[in-house]
Amino acid sequence: MSDVLDDGPFFHGTKAELRPGDFLTAGFASNYRPEVVMNHVYFTALRDGAGLAAEVAALDGSTPHVYEVVPTGPFENDPNVTDKKFPGNPTRSFRSRAPLRVVREVTEWKRLTSEELQVWRDRLSAIRADERGEIIN
């Protein structure tokens, strides 16, 4: 890939407890469709976007974490949101088959209220019940 998509910094939201130097890799279940094993690891240049992903990942009662990350290989715009849901890439969302290296944990992001968390619980239930809710993997 010759064109730089974004200069970052980049963030990843998860429920996993990681340390600087750890690597995030593909091959884990989707937070949106747990039966789908993901071929990519996802990240964003928006801290609050990673915070949202962390909060969604932690809807099971675990602790959400946001990490600043560095891609170790090529990456592309996330086709699950880019042009499919948001023309262009205003969410600055990306994915890579290569690992992401954790730089540090980030503790400041916009937290969801209990009402917003319930909205996400309801959305996930609807997504999981709808067989058309495809993930471009």
Domains belonging to the chain, first-starting first, are 10-129 (3.20.170.40)
The pLDDT of 1-16, averaged and rounded, is: 82
Determine if the peptide bond prior to 71 is cis (ω within 30°): no
CB 66 within 8 A of CB 106: yes
For 58-80, how does the pLDDT look when each residue is reduced to its tens digit (9 = 90+)?
Answer: 888 899 999 999 999 999 998 87
R_g over Cα of the chain: 14
Average pLDDT, the chain: 85
Measure Cα distances from 61 to 38, 54, 70, 77 in Å: 22, 12, 27, 30
**What is the pLDDT at residue 30?**
79
Please indicate whether residue 6 or residue 83 has the higher confidence score (pLDDT).
6
From 136, 46, 134, 42, select the one nearest 96 (Cα to Cα). Answer: 42
Closest-CA residue to 18 (of 61, 60, 54, 59): 54
- Distance in angstroms (rounded) separating the CA atoms of residues 46 and 31: 19
Classify residue 27 as left (phi > 0), alpha (psi -120 to 50) or beta.
left
Q: How many Cβ atoms sit within 10 Å of the Cβ of residue 81?
A: 19
H or E element in which residue 126 lies: helix 114-129
